[in-house]
Amino acid sequence: MVAFTMNLFQTPHLQLPLIVLFTIIGGGITFFMIRFFERKKIQKKIRIGIECEHEAAYFLKKNRYTIIAYHTSISYTIQENGNNISIPLELDYVVSKNGKTYVAEVKSGEHTATIRYAQTRRQLLEYAVATKYDGYLLIDMHHKTINSIEFPLNIQYRIPNLISYGILLLGIAVFLVNFAFKEYNIAGNIAIITICIFWFWKLSSK
C-alpha cells in the first residue's frame, strides 16, 4: 500500500491533485478533531459546573442557609432610546438566613470565583441593579468560601443647598444690623442665630 502510494506521487500528472487531496483530507481530520476536543472540553465544563452547583446546595445548608429557589428565571426592563427592553436573568440560588434573603451565585473556577474577575463582578452587579434582595453572595467552590458582596448603589452625594446658606447669612445680617443700630436684644438675637443654624443644618443635610 505504501509502495503504491509512493508510485502515485512519483507520477508527474498526479502529484498536484494528490497533494491537494491529502491536504483537504488532513485539514478535514484536523478540523473535526479540534471540534471534537472543544466539544468535550465544553461538556466537561458544563458537567463540572452542574456538579459544583449541586455541591453548593449542601455547602449552603451546612452554613445554615435555607434554599428558597434554584435556577430562578427573572427579567428586568431597561430603556434604549425610549423603548423598553426586557432582559432575562437566571439566578443560581435564592437563599435565606437570619430573616434576610440573598441571591447566591456559584463559581468553581480558580480565576472566576472572585469579585476581582470582571465578568463575575459585572454579573453580580447586574443582579444588584435588577433585584431588591437583602444581599448578594459569591459562592467560591474552588476555595469553599461564601463571600458577601456589596455595591455602592445607594451613595448619595450631599450638595449644600443655597437656601440653607441664605438662611444662615440672613440671620447673621439681622444680628449685625441690630448690633450696628444698637437696637438689639441679646436673647432675641441668640434665638435668631439658633433658628438660622438649625434650618441651615436641616436643609444642607437633605
Contact 72, 53 (CB under 8 A): no
Residue 70 CB contacts under 8 Å (≥ 6 apart), including other chains: 57, 92, 93
CA distance 61 to 90: 21
- pLDDT of residue 98 exceeding 70, the answer is yes
Alpha helix (H) residue ranges in the chain: 2-10, 12-62, 118-130, 162-180, 186-204
Contact 90, 122 (CB under 8 A): no
Instruction: Give 114-144 pLDDT, tens digit per residue.
Output: 999 999 999 999 999 999 999 999 999 888 9
What is the pLDDT at residue 109?
81
User: Predicted confidence band at 167 (pLDDT cuts at 50, 70, 90)?
Assistant: low
Residues of 27-50 as b/e, b for ≥16 C-beta within 10 angstroms? eeeeeeeeeeeeeeeeeeeeeebe
The grid cell for 32 is 473535526
pTM: 0.55
CA atoms within 13 A on the CB side of 193: 12
DSSP letters, 89-134, are EEEEEEEEETTEEEEEEEE-STTTSSTTSHHHHHHHHHHHHH---S
Nearest Cα residue to 55 out of 3, 127, 107: 107
The grid cell for 199 is 434650618
Instruction: Give 66-81 pLDDT, tens digit per residue.
Output: 999 999 999 999 999 9
Instruction: Give 8-61 pLDDT, tens digit per residue.
Output: 455 555 555 656 665 776 666 666 665 655 665 555 455 555 666 788 899 999
Residue 202 CB contacts under 8 Å (≥ 6 apart), including other chains: 164
User: Predicted confidence band at 158 (pLDDT cuts at 50, 70, 90)?
Assistant: very low
CA distance 66 to 69: 9
